[in-house]
Structure 1
Amino acid sequence: MSQQAYLSKEGHELTREEKKVLAGTLVGTTIEWYDFFIYAQAAGFVLAVLYFEPLGQENAALAQLVAWASIGISFLFRPLGAIFAGYLGDKFGRKLVLVITLMGMGGATVLIGLLPTYAAWGMAAPILLIVLRILQGLSAGGEWGGAALLSVEHAPRHKRGLFGMYPQIGVPLGMLLATVFMFGLNATLTEDQFLEWGWRVPFLFSFVLIVVGYLIRLKVEESPVFTEMKDRKKESSAPLKELVTTHKKYTFLAALIFAANNAAGYLVIAFFASYGASALGMSRTETLIASLIGGVGWFIFTMLGGWISDRIGRVRTFQIGYGIIIIWAVPMWFLLDTASLPLFALAIFILTIGLGPSYGPQSALYAEMFPVSIRFSGVSIGYALGSIIGGAFAATIAQAILDATGKSWLIGVYIGGLAVVSFIAVSLVPKNLQGINLHDDSDREALEVGSVLNRK
């Protein structure tokens, strides 16, 4: 597609293909993160008892820490998944990676739902659980980059934030779907039924979602940017090598930009519900209701963040989001600790006001940070590294802080500190990258030349 043809799309309404792309990225990421969040919620409620039983008999708090840590283990393998997916995505296209990651994530989720417990298989059960969790991490490492680029690279220049918002809202939608499932099971089953077999149902349901997502993604065409790059034979023979040698600054910034959002997000996804039930004595139903309210807030403000970034700028939108998180990270614990459902839910909802603006524009921001030949590798690896720094062990760290001090507000200090780091990192991204031509690197080269001349 030529520059002129690209610009001529600016005033057009969504085409049929664009609608398919947005639906494909939205449905796919929703399914992927449903799978991820089902595990996170199960880790908060049942995995310590069912799979880490020896530790539970000795020390229930230690067993819960290990259950939280099993979430983080998968994050350690995200960069490996991102490297592999980045190579495939930069070499063979975005669409192929999306299908592979969907099957990998969904297949692992279904197998977790079939996995016997420690009581039946002994040590083999937690070992296989970790193996399947690692497979989820490898799949998640490649999922987001493909979905983000497929949506942004189809977007008109002035609507990249809006288009890139679609894979982002898959996260709160996946959380809502997972939480609704858990809420329904909790409301209809006894505690014994839930522990015996009820918790497995959401994992097994993933098979249906895999089929739906696969059929939708098969209908989506390849990214026009990748197609044009391939036609011009510009595909990189070693994108990872080029990434780490010439674009390590933006890869490092991308990781730090995501860290705080991912850490705070995993508190909303899993830790708050477990904390309310185990530390505050709230019922599981109450904490799941609060999580649902948080998911709705996250969805709304992520949409707003993507949309508004096209108007006031991506960097400024991120700064607003992280500013809210910095201010609210400590005070929210005093509302949470009331153990009152309205105040507990309000605390989470206010946090999502900051989560949305610091997540909605991420797809567009990252796409504009990297040149076309290594874009998939850059956004995927930056995202994966950020998830390790931020969300991988956020729940584990939060639990450790609580166990060591008994002061929940110190968890807020931890989250607020990460948000300061992410605020600084996003502030270092040049604002003039917004609107850059994604089809080739002519605009980027001109900006680099201009920067050199200005320094002279």
Structure 2
Amino acid sequence: MSDQSSHPTPHSNPAQLAPTNSPTRVAVASFIGTAIEFFDFYVFATAAALVIGPTFFPHDSSTAQTLNAFLTFGIAFLARPIGSALFGHFGDRIGRKSTLVASLLVMGISTTLIGFLPGYDSIGTLAPILLCVLRFGQGIGLGGEWGGAALLATENAPAGKRAWFGMFPQLGPSIGFLLANGLFFGLALSLSDEQFKSWGWRIPFVLSAVLVIVGLYVRLKLHESPVFMAAVKHKEQVKFPIATIFSRHFKPVLQGSLAMVVCYALFYISTVFSLSYGVKNLHFTKPEFLGLLCLAVVFMGLATPISAWASDKWGRKPVLMLGALCAFLSGFAMQPLLGSGSTLLVALFLIIELFLMGFTFGPMGALLPEIFPTAVRYTGASISYNIGGIIGASIAPFIAQMLVERGGLSWVGYYVSAAALLSFIAVTSMRETRDVAL
């Protein structure tokens, strides 16, 4: 088999690449799967900021419980590259469709079981151990989800609209977060604090099972990607995609991973850390701050299609460089806006950060698949996406909590600016991929 270049090339017969799934079906299937997966993932993120510490860890200081909860939150990010390698292997070997179904099942089962897990008062140290195992399972499932959904969208996209179609899985996090936070918001309003901490927080985890069934139904109706089928026909598959990725395509993996860092830092500092800080330090009530986040994430959802459309029109690089530059400047706004404690200024801060997250996130659904050839595209895109998560998000709330304890909110803002600068440099070093054929 000939050496696979990091520059994807078109097959000799374009007719073989005619889409077999309707545009509507592709958009719905790529969107609904990521929305469900990220709903599951963010349910834990919200719970980590509110109840995971006191429920699953020894009753020592509240700061120690918060740090333990954030460390447990970070476990999933360490698992995600493993999920990328595992599901990427099968996605590149046997197909996108069946792999996406399997990733959804792993995430759904892990999330639902967390909803039934006894706390520290009931089973002692076994509680945090089992929680970590299930959180690891969530990471495995999500590690295989995003890359497959992005490929499902981009490999079925019409010419010139790859970023627009790649935007649909990118909307999944916005909707998933809105559903998760909206549900917690409703529970916090309708239940007493004691009811919420005792059993109310478990409801979103258990409801995940229903959403997963819906997602499975939609995905089982899909046909396999025509680009993948053409690769199979031409015998372009490789035995060990993960080995090929790191031996032949390490540069795009590194570039793609670092390009993703700003997205993760913006999101998890703005949501998980800010929620915890707002409730504990600024004395917002849970419903108040959750309501502000629900408002702000709408702007993230609006920014995603705007930047995807712009990247189809002007290219991936200029849009992402602009987003990273604005994110760099936004870090300096954290202290004066979030630190003010003013509802209006805190809302403004969250809107700015989540808008920029959506703006930098929108083109990624097309960019990461575009920098890898078909034979290793699932693995490459997934690995890059999730290594970016380890760097930009896995311990971001933990580090932010440590920084705010030692140096104040300004230091957390500098952390966001540093993440943005890293992504800006990575994007600058990349080639433009808007017109590359898959």
Fold-level similarity (TM above 0.5): yes
1:164 pairs with one of 154, 163, 166: 166
Q: Deviations over 1:410-441 (max 9, x none)?
A: 1010110111010010111111x322110xxx
Which moved further from structure 2: 131-140 or 325-334? 325-334
Is 1:174 matched up with 2:171? no
Aligned to 2:6: none
How far 1:4 moved relative to its partner? 4.6
User: Is the aligned partner of 1:150 residue 2:139?
Assistant: no
Shift in Å, 1:279: 0.9
Aligned residues: 428
1:322-401 superposed matches below 5 A: 322-401=324-403
| Correspondences of 1:37-436 after superposition (within 5 Å) | 37-52=42-57, 54=58, 56-57=59-60, 59-405=61-407, 407-431=408-432, 433-436=433-436
Question: Identity percentage over the alignment?
Answer: 39
3-state secondary structure, aligned to 1:358: helix
SS in 2 for 1:330: helix
Structure 2: 5+ residue stretches without partners:
1-10
Distance 1:16 1:395 in 2: 40
Shift of residue 297, structure 1, vs aligned partner: 0.8
Q: Does structure 2 conserve the Cα–Cα contact (< 8 Å) formed by 1:320 and 1:357?
A: no
Counterpart Cα distance in 2 of 1:24 and 1:424: 34
User: Given the alignment, which residue of 3, 27, 31 partners 1:26?
Assistant: 31
Q: Is the 8 A contact 1:44 1:271 kept in 2?
A: yes
- SS of the aligned residue for 2:359 comes to coil
2:17–2:230 contact (8 Å) kept in structure 1: no
Distance 1:99 1:16 in 2: 16
Task: Give the equivalent residue in structure 2 for 1:437.
Answer: 437
The superposition leaves residues 112-163 of structure 1 with CA deviations (integer Å, 9 ceiling, x where unpaired) of 0000010011111110000000001111111100000110000122000100
Alpha-carbon contact 1:322-1:355 (below 8 Å) kept: no
Q: Deviations over 1:262-282 (max 9, x none)?
A: 121112332212111101111
Q: What amino acid is the match of 2:233?
A: D
Question: Equivalent residue of 1:329, what SS?
Answer: helix
| 1:20-65, Cα deviation, whole Å (9 max, x unpaired) | 111011000000000000000000000111101x2x42x2211101
1:289-347 CA distance string (max 9 Å, x none):
11001210110001111111101111111111111111111213311122222221111
Q: Which moved more, 1:334-343 or 1:121-130?
A: 334-343
SS in 1 for 2:49: helix
On the 8 A contact 1:113/1:200 being kept in 2, the answer is: yes
TM-score computed with the length of structure 1 as normaliser? 0.91
Point out where structure 1 has 5 or more consecutive residues left out of the alignment. Answer: 10-14, 439-456
CA distance in structure 1 between the partners assigned to 2:287 and 2:340 by the alignment: 17
1:4 and 1:241, CA in 2 relative to 1: closer, same or farther beyond 3 A? closer
Structure 1 position 3, deviation (Å): 4.9
Q: Structure 2: how far apart are the matches of 1:92 and 1:248?
A: 23
Greater RCO structure (CA 8 Å; 6+ sep): 2
Residue 419 of structure 2 aligns with an amino acid whose one-letter code is L
Distance in 1 of aligned mates of 2:381 and 2:276: 32
**Deviation of 1:2 (Å):** 6.0
Verify the 8 A CA contact 1:108 1:135 in the aligned structure 2.
yes
Residue in structure 1 matched with residue 5 of structure 2 by the alignment: none
One-letter code aligned to 2:48 = A
- What does the per-residue CA deviation read over 1:232-277, in whole Å, with 9 as the maximum and x for residues that have no partner? 2211122222111111000111111111211211123322121111
The farther-off stretch of 211-220 and 323-332 is: 323-332
CA contact (8 A) 1:44 1:67 kept: yes
- The code of the aligned residue for 2:240 comes to A
Please give the secondary structure, in 2, of the residue aligned with 1:370: coil
Return the letter of the residue paired with 1:19. Answer: T
Cα distance in 2 between the residues matched to 1:393 and 1:172: 21
TM-superposed CA distance for 1:16, in Å, is 6.3
Secondary structure at the aligned position of 1:217 is classed as helix
Give the root-mean-square deviation of aligned CA atoms: 1.5
Matched-pair contact (CA < 8 Å) for 1:172–1:298: yes
Give the whole-Å Cα distance in 1 for the aligned partners of 2:272 and 2:231. Answer: 41
Q: What secondary structure is seen at the aligned counterpart in 1 of 2:242?
A: helix
